[in-house]
Chain A
């Protein structure tokens, strides 16, 4: 048995989600008594592979560095991965539950004619895994009968593994073929000096109660004082206050920071699904019956337009 982990990276550096999925892979490797290989698939990404060699607990780093994989388009990546899995007889394929892996992994699983287990939060044993269903309102334990077990891992459920202390070697793989059915055009990436939402230690999120896009500046001021990432409820995104990449919830990002501050968020099931595993939850809402208070460790029934400036000045 052996595990192949697909690294999340941007051709320049490993992204934080990789450390979380590796932590899950290590739990599995111990139970299955097997080795872990890490795949860096991209273009002009050899520096990523070199830095990955320093990760403790990795047996080898596989480098697929070619134009056809630059943006990890699933049409090119999936058949390439299927060949790799078969050639090297991997029995587990793991990747973080990011939009990159959620895009590609089911395509790979289907080509392998195996199921995928989405959003694994616990590894029971070598073939049994726990994952949330119904927006996290139920946890399903499933046993896989497939030869290759393909899974995405919910990054918030596993602490980040150390990315140092190892001495793995890079094996350069052959180039992938561009099948020519899909083409990357452009990417609009939101640049921010704040920490990445999915991995921030502190997250402060605004909901419909923020009332406008402009008012989110008040949240930003507090976030800057705390070194926090900024999130939003679906209601705030739907109302056009902020971009969708800030959405926390069932259909957005799943976060579990040390501190989550929900501001003007009522606490719909779909939002709770994205943040209820946070260590400490603070809710600020003027409606004392808002469901968010049912999961909050500390609640402040108050007008957020008074609380936010006060927080900013006192922090």
Chain B
């Protein structure tokens, strides 16, 4: 079984981003860029499935400008067999990305596609579900455990009220939640080996898919600032304050 894994280039989670002076967008220039943490979990899961003999090949796929190759290189260094870069300089929204991935699904015919449940920039939580829709595959979102039995994948899903188990016919789309696994680190020998692994580049124009954004950004603003209040001396003062405010 072949696995496609989505890899997104995002600003490092530990950086607090700033908004451009003209309020047109978040300023990401010159910031440290990394693999989206949820995509790291997706890559890790694919690698483990290969190590268990369930998967035969892991293909990392990323959509975006040339700089995305850096994150694909990371995926290769982690252990992916090859990578596909879908090249575009345009802003791509989840629906567009799902359409591009759907073209890769038709080309590669994977048994499983694994995404992170959301990217930490847009926080949209849409792409996996949208690909599942377009490809007609069932979906196991917010996955914390996968098991394979008789042509099905049993997915344990993290839901608001606890955990849910569903069985999905393969091929299927999975989106990874935090507890699916703990991603490994890149080792130096694997980093060297990754340099020889292939990254195939495909241009969006060649795929003939319309990726024009459906949502236009009017503005990006700072959220209301919360200022630090007062430090209290003891529990009695705290209870007193909360009672005065009617909070308790």
Contact = CB atoms under 8 A, between A and B. Distances in A.
Interface of A: 71, 73-75, 78, 98-100, 102-111, 113-119, 128, 132-146, 180-190, 198, 202, 226, 234, 237-238, 243-245, 250-251, 253, 258-259, 269-270, 276, 279-282, 288, 293-302, 307, 310-311, 314-315
A74 B223 contact: no
Contacts of B223: 132, 136-139, 276
Nearest to A128: B218
Given A107-B129, A109-B95, A114-B95, 20 more contacts: A71-B164, A99-B157, A106-B133, A110-B130, A115-B93, A128-B218, A140-B220, A141-B220, A142-B215, A181-B137, A182-B139, A187-B162, A244-B177, A276-B223, A276-B226, A294-B226, A294-B227, A298-B231, A299-B229, A314-B235
Contact of B141 (A102, A270, A298): A102
Chain B interface mostly helix, strand, loop or mixed?
mixed
A106 B163 contact: no
Interface of B: 11, 13-14, 16-17, 19, 26, 93-95, 98, 117-118, 120-134, 137-139, 141-142, 144, 152, 154, 157-169, 177-179, 213-223, 226-232, 234-236, 238-239, 241-242, 245, 247-248
Contacts of A184: 164-166
B166 A106 contact: no
Contact of B216 (A71, A142, A238, A250): A142
A139 B220 contact: yes
Given A133-B121, A133-B122, A187-B164, A298 B248 contact: no
Contacts of A75: 138-139
Contact of B247 (A104, A198, A259): A259
What 3 A-B pairs come out closest when comparing CB atoms? Answer: A106-B129, A115-B214, A110-B133
A138 B133 contact: no
A78 B134 CA distance: 11
Contact of A134 (B17, B137, B177, B217): B17
B235 A189 contact: no
B167 A182 contact: yes
Given A132-B123, A245-B161, A185 B138 contact: no
A253 B26 contact: no
B138 A181 contact: yes
B238 A244 contact: no
A185 B167 contact: yes
Contacts of B236: 314
A101 to B, nearest CB: 10
Contact of A311 (B127, B129, B134, B235): B235
B168 A116 contact: no
Given A182-B168, A280-B242, A133 B162 contact: no
Nearest to A10: B161
Contacts of B157: 99
Nearest to A186: B165
A243 B160 CA distance: 11
Given A75-B138, A187-B164, A280-B242, A238 B133 contact: no
Contacts of B19: 138
B130 A100 contact: no
B1 to A, nearest CB: 17
Nearest to A134: B17
Nearest to A82: B133
7 contacts: A99-B159, A107-B130, A113-B95, A118-B125, A134-B26, A141-B221, A187-B159
